[in-house]
Amino acid sequence: MTTAGDIMHRGAQWIPAHETLDRAAQLMRDLNVGALPISDENERLCGILTDRDIVVGCVAKGHDPARVTAGEMAKGTPRWIEADADIGDVLNEMQTHRIRRLPVIEDKRLVGMISEADLAQHLPEDQIAAWAESVYARTSAD
């Protein structure tokens, strides 16, 4: 059985909710990633911040990324998966919620992230195609 822990990218890092978006952008650059899980003061997942969130949700609206925090950008219910979850559960979680990045948790600690690239490296072409179709498909609400 292939698990989330088998395909995840290890070494994911939190961005604390109180950190500013300019600091988040610097951390993304340094880690060469496009998303960071956001943690509250108890290191619990409270959202995910993407590079697109910073550009579209802050800069494009004329806000100063040095004054807006990661926590202010956290929206909705954050999704995550346990490291020992089966790959089918990973795909289901990402497809159901139409998400492209999924934090992986073990013993209540962040241990990695699963991205599109991780799926592409570890799954057969037909599973990737089905995943992409469900995640990228537009609905009438879009």
Task: Return the closest-CA partner of residue 23 out of 49, 45, 57, 62.
Answer: 49
Cβ atoms of 87 and 3 within 8 Å: the answer is yes
* Structure confidence at residue 142 (pLDDT): 47
* Structure confidence at residue 62 (pLDDT): 96
Mean pLDDT of 80-90: 94
Looking at the chain, the whole-number percentage of residues with pLDDT higher than 90 is 55
11: exposed, middle or buried (C-beta count within 10 Å: 0-12, 13-18, 19+)? exposed
Q: Give the DSSP H/E element, type plus range, for residue 110.
A: strand 109-115
Residue ranges and CATH numbers for the domains of the chain are: 4-136 (3.10.580.10)
Give CA–CA dist 96/26, Å, rounded. Answer: 31
Mean pLDDT of 34-47: 90
